[in-house]
């Protein structure tokens, strides 16, 4: 970010906005390149839309060398404001948040259980802005650098203690299945038997070798609607014969309405409960304002669905010999929305499951970028997160955000089939973030609104 800060010197508001927009185009075109696999016009449109966030940040950006301490609070808060806008406007797309760059820096990200991912974004901008002030030889720069150093040290100490004090109250053995069904055959009726055989074969291997308490299949792993007699019979028979609970990603139909769902099948072969996806993908699972924008379908070279949004924050409950367990499921990219995960945990989910299908994107960085969201959802709510992808990163994440087990063949994690079994370690403590949500982000937003007018005056 330091070159950007230098480039904004002595610019008026329009110039700053233009430079921020250009910065955003480079950033989002570079990180979201994989969307070209779905739609070139759609990718261009999304990049141009998301680039408004850094453009607004640069428009708000103001710094006067006479008041560096003022800017130290104002500038990172302005970045948080624009990330929050990006996460919520037009259904929201909080992908590649700046804080996600620290996903594998476990000690540092632990304070996300207070601030959410936005706290990490704040810290990154703060560090970059502090270094910029040092290079500019700004007054009081040594005080600022000392303050930043203390803040980082405090964050690391907090993180190390949070990791060490983790004491699970209950554990559950779970297997996640990765079928690796190519997208081009996923809905071809000729391959229906092959797809079912693939998932049943891998599931039986996992059960025979690991004896898990729960097996998870990915998003829309069934090659049809779960109400179809042949598919329903096959799934019920598998659960009953293997005496296992199954969580299955499947389409569900009610009359003319279709839902992207997850169904919990009991060890007796009965559908215990169903979750219908709440946060649908615009231009993927539905077309916003379809009566006026139906022409968009002709611009996308992939099929678009006409799914209905779910309404219930379902918490699945089931019993095994070891006790009773409760969890919730996030379908597709729902795990990138922190408030959605928080609401599930608030309602009693003690671990989260993400079922997804990243086969659309092939061997790109997309599945790993997607994984970053799940890592932060684990830390924010201090719950395990289990990911089952048709292909992508299928893994088990502990409440500290550490990936403890992953589906892998050789060096490959994407475009391979298989399973991984691990232990979900649960606690019964609700974090500050679970209880109060994006309070930190709202504090930053309020600070910007209060400080912007006065910042303009002193500049």
Please give the positions annotated as active site.
219, 277, 332
> Using an 8 Å Cβ cutoff, are 341 and 386 in contact?
no
Q: What is the largest CA-CA distance in the chain?
A: 74
The 3-state secondary structure of the chain reads CHHHHHHCCCCCHHHHHHHHHHHHHHHHHHHCHHHHHCCHHHHHHHHHHHCHHHHHHHHHCCCCCCCHHHHHHHHHHHHHHHHHHHHHHHHCCCCCCHHHHHCCCHHHHCCHHHHCHHHHHHHHHHHHHHHHHHHCCCCCHHHHHHHHHHHHHHHHHHHHHHHHCCCCCEEEEEEEEECCCCCCCCCCHHHHHHHHHHHHHHHHHHHHHHCCCEEECCCCCCCCECCCHHHHHHHHHHHHHHCCEEEEEEEEEECCEEEEEEEEECCCCCEEEEEECCCCCECCCECCCHHHHHHHHHHCCCCCCCECCCCCCCCEEEEECCEEEEEEEEEHHHHHCHHHHHHHHHCCCCEEEEEECCHHHCCCCHHHHHHHHHHHHHHHHCCCEEEEECCCCCEEECCCCCEEEECCECCECCCCCEEEEEEEEECCCCCHHHHHCCHHHHHHHHHHHHHHHHHHHHC
With 0-12 / 13-18 / 19 or more C-beta atoms within 10 angstroms meaning exposed / middle / buried, residue 63 is buried
> Using an 8 Å Cβ cutoff, are 1 and 128 in contact?
yes
Q: How far apart are CA 174 and CA 247, in angstroms?
A: 11
Q: How far apart are CA 349 and CA 368, in angstroms?
A: 25
Q: How far apart are CA 240 and CA 121, in angstroms?
A: 47
> Using an 8 Å Cβ cutoff, are 414 and 391 in contact?
yes
Buried b (16+ CB within 10 A) or exposed e, 250-269: bbbeeeeebbbbbbbbbbeb
């Amino acid at each position: 970010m330091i070159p950007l800060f230098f480039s904004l010197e002595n610019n008026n508001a329009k110039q700053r906005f233009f430079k921020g927009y250009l910065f955003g185009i480079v950033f989002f075109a570079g990180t979201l390149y994989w969307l070209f696999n779905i739609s070139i016009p759609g990718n261009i449109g999304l990049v141009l839309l998301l680039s408004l966030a850094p453009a607004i940040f640069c428009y708000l950006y103001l710094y006067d060398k006479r008041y560096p301490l003022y800017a130290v609070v104002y500038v990172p808060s302005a970045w948080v404001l624009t990330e929050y806008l990006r996460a919520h406007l037009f259904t929201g797309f909080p992908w590649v948040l700046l804080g996600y760059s620290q996903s594998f820096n476990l000690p540092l990200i632990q304070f996300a259980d207070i601030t959410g991912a936005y706290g990490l974004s704040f810290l990154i901008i703060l560090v970059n802005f502090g270094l910029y002030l040092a290079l500019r030889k700004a007054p009081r720069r040594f005080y600022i650098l000392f303050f930043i150093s203390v803040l980082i040290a405090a964050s690391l100490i907090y993180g190390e203690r949070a990791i060490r004090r983790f004491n699970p109250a209950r554990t559950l053995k779970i297997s996640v299945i990765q079928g690796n069904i190519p997208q081009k055959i996923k809905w071809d009726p000729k391959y229906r038997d092959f797809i079912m055989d693939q998932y049943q074969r891998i599931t039986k291997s996992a059960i025979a070798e690991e004896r898990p308490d729960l097996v998870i299949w990915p998003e829309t792993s069934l090659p049809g609607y779960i109400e179809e007699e042949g598919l329903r019979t096959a799934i019920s028979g598998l659960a009953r014969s293997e005496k296992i609970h199954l969580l299955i990603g499947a389409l569900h139909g009610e009359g003319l309405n279709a839902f992207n769902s997850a169904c919990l099948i009991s060890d007796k072969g009965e559908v215990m409960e169903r979750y219908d996806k709440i946060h649908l993908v615009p231009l993927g699972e539905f077309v916003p304002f379809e009566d006026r924008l139906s022409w968009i379908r002709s611009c996308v070279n992939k099929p678009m669905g006409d799914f209905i949004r779910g309404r219930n924050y379902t918490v699945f409950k089931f019993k095994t010999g070891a006790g009773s367990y409760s969890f919730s499921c996030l379908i597709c990219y729902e795990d990138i929305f922190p408030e959605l995960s928080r609401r599930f945990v608030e309602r009693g989910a003690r671990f989260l499951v993400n079922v997804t299908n990243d086969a659309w994107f092939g061997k790109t960085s997309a599945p790993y970028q997607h994984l970053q969201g799940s890592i932060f959802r684990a830390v924010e709510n201090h719950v395990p997160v289990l990911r089952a992808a048709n292909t992508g990163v299928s893994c088990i994440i502990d409440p500290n955000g550490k990936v403890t087990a992953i589906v892998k063949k050789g060096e490959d994690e994407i475009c391979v089939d298989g399973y991984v079994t691990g232990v979900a370690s649960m606690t019964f403590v609700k974090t500050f973030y679970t209880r109060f949500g994006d309070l930190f982000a709202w504090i930053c937003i309020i600070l910007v609104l209060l400080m912007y007018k006065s910042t303009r005056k002193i500049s």
